């Protein structure tokens, strides 16, 4: 195809307000109310691709948060109040309409009055105006008893944000399918190494984690969906391999701030370890002021101590469906996939660093490195400022 025959792709522009509304209203939001002791519900969601609009069916309206435009307003607004809503007619005196809408708002649902304030039609000079291009198109559905009505609504982003910030709105969530598959890495242990320690490793080295989740006999625990699953890991013979749950315990999802266990195996660094990284250690300066001696550093950049690598030892993935998760109980069997008997992989985050063989080190689980995959590199040392 020649260059003349190519069509340039131009993405459809979407404003930040439209993107925010898409996140908030991708699924309907619901608002419960009562009219004359009859329960009702209002639903708001994004409108699909608009069909041709008959301008004569759209009216301009005002509430305490701002202006909005509503299609077929009469039938819909009648469901919000014990007084029926009649759309303004040019032949009727404006003063009469003012008194009528005072009556309508008097009988408006208390919950909706608290949310919208008073609803009034826009002045006659504003009726028939074109809907602003930046207005968001929504579907407004109202159910009250056995009556229901839906109509399109256009509203500015600022007004919509004020509406949705009012208490009483509830999100609608679509039910997840029971067959939805969940894959969780099986973590055998955690270990923390410095970059220098990791750079000095070689195939054949044995890593002995201090924080173990499994023993050499295969007993251990897995944390999943706020539960600690204790059980027996079976990785021998032919696949499929499995983890049999023997006990469930609800566990907190946060770590206590003063709990040192996740980093108990980190190398401790003293201040004196900083200075050998510089060619010439900076000398503190002193100055006498008001009878006191003040000491400060020269301002020479000092390199921070090397950051530690939080590593995990993994052995495959546990797979289960949403239905399996909901039915977890002692005796449940979870399938282990992508596992090789006697082997494990060392990870930093989701990046695999090395493969190795699981070994028994004085009764504790260890990993002997057999093959290195990636090597994190330390940042170059800082040069002293001139």
Say how many domains are in the chain.
2
**Is 298 within a domain?**
no
Residues 7-16 have a mean pLDDT of 79
187 and 327 both lie in a single domain: yes
84 and 227 both lie in a single domain: no
Residue 177 has pLDDT above 80, yes or no: yes
105 and 139 both lie in a single domain: yes
Q: Cα separation of 342 and 237, whole Å?
A: 11
Which of 80, 75, 39 has its CA nearest to residue 59? Answer: 75
129 and 64 both lie in a single domain: yes
Most confident of the following: 130-134, 251-255, 266-270: 130-134
Residue 364 has pLDDT above 70, yes or no: yes
Q: 324-363: per-residue pLDDT in tens?
A: 888 899 999 999 999 999 999 999 999 999 999 999 999 9
CATH at 314: 2.30.330.10
**Is 296 within a domain?**
no
Give the confidence band of 6 by pLDDT, cuts at 50, 70, 90: low
Q: Which pLDDT score is estimated for 262?
A: 42
**Is 117 within a domain?**
yes
Looking at 10-14, 122-126, 144-148, 308-312, which range is the least confident one?
122-126
Most confident of the following: 69-73, 193-197, 294-298: 69-73
CA distances from 386 to 56, 282, 300, 303, 383 (A): 75, 13, 9, 16, 9
**Is 147 within a domain?**
yes
**Is 301 within a domain?**
no
Residues 21-49 have a mean pLDDT of 88
Q: Cα separation of 373 and 350, whole Å?
A: 13
- Write down which residue in 156, 171, 186 finishes a domain: 171
Q: Which pLDDT score is estimated for 362?
A: 92
- Write down which residue in 116, 137, 171 finishes a domain: 171
φ/ψ of 343, rounded to 5, equals -125, 160
**Is 223 within a domain?**
yes
- Write down which residue in 120, 148, 171 finishes a domain: 171
146 and 190 both lie in a single domain: no
Three-state SS for 105? helix
Q: Which pLDDT score is estimated for 79?
A: 95
Q: Which pLDDT score is estimated for 93?
A: 62
193 and 166 both lie in a single domain: no
Q: How far is residue 202 CA from its own chain's centroid?
A: 39
Q: How far is residue 363 CA from its own chain's centroid?
A: 41
Residues 217-246 have a mean pLDDT of 90
Q: Which pLDDT score is estimated for 314?
A: 96
Residue 49 has pLDDT above 80, yes or no: no
Residue 2 has pLDDT above 90, yes or no: no
Residue 260 has pLDDT above 70, yes or no: no
Residues 21-43 have a mean pLDDT of 90
**Is 212 within a domain?**
yes
72 Rama sector, left if φ>0, alpha if ψ -120 to 50, beta otherwise: left
DSSP conformation letters of 37-96: TEEEEEEEEE--SPPPP-GGGEEEEEETTEEEEEESHHHHHHTSBSSPP----TTS-HHH
Share of the chain above pLDDT 90, in %: 45
Average pLDDT, the chain: 80
Looking at 85-99, 123-137, 139-153, 233-247, which range is the least confident one?
85-99
Q: CB–CB of 68/203 below 8 Å? A: no
127 and 27 both lie in a single domain: yes
45 and 109 both lie in a single domain: yes
194 and 330 both lie in a single domain: yes
114 and 216 both lie in a single domain: no
φ/ψ of 374, rounded to 5, equals -135, 155
Q: 62-107: per-residue pLDDT in tens?
A: 999 999 999 989 999 999 999 999 877 665 566 667 788 899 999 9
Give the confidence band of 204 by pLDDT, cuts at 50, 70, 90: very high
Q: CB–CB of 29/46 below 8 Å? A: no
121 and 236 both lie in a single domain: no
Please enumerate in sequence order all residues whose Cβ is within 8 A of that of 12, keeping only pairs 6 or more positions apart, or say none: none
**Is 21 within a domain?**
yes
Range of the domain at 33: 16-171
């Amino acid at each position: 195809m020649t260059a003349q025959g190519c069509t340039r792709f131009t993405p459809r522009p979407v404003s930040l307000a439209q993107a925010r509304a898409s996140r908030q209203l991708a699924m309907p939001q619901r608002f419960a109310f009562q009219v004359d002791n009859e329960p009702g519900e209002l639903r708001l969601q994004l409108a699909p691709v608009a069909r041709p609009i008959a301008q004569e069916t759209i009216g301009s309206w005002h509430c305490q948060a701002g202006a909005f435009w509503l299609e077929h307003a009469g039938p819909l607004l009648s469901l919000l109040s014990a007084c029926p809503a009649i759309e303004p007619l040019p032949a009727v005196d404006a003063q009469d309409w003012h008194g009528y809408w005072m009556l309508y708002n008097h009988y408006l649902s208390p919950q909706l009055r608290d949310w919208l304030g008073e609803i009034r039609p826009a002045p006659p000079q504003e009726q028939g105006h074109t809907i602003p291009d930046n207005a968001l198109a929504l579907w407004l559905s109202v159910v009250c008893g056995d009556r229901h009505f839906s109509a399109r609504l256009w509203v500015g982003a600022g007004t919509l944000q004020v509406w949705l910030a009012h208490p009483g709105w509830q999100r609608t969530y679509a039910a997840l399918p029971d067959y939805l598959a969940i894959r969780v890495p099986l973590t055998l242990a955690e270990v923390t190494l410095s970059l220098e320690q990791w750079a000095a490793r070689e195939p054949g080295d044995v890593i002995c984690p201090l924080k173990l989740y499994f023993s050499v006999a295969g007993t251990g625990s897995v944390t999943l969906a706020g539960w600690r699953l204790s059980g027996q890991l079976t990785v021998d013979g032919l696949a499929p391999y499995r983890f049999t749950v023997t006990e469930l315990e609800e566990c907190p999802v946060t770590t206590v701030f003063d709990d040192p266990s996740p980093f108990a195996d980190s190398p401790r660094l003293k201040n004196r370890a900083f200075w050998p990284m510089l060619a010439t250690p900076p000398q503190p300066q002193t100055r006498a002021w008001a009878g006191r001696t003040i000491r400060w550093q020269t301002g020479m950049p000092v390199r921070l101590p090397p950051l530690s690598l939080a590593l995990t030892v993994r052995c495959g993935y546990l797979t289960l469906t949403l239905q399996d998760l909901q039915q977890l109980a002692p005796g449940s069997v979870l399938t282990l996939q992508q596992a090789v008997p006697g082997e494990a992989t060392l990870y930093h985050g989701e990046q695999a660093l090395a493969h190795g063989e699981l070994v028994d080190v004085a009764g504790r689980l260890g990993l002997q490195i057999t093959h290195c995959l990636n090597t994190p590199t330390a940042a170059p040392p800082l040069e002293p400022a001139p």
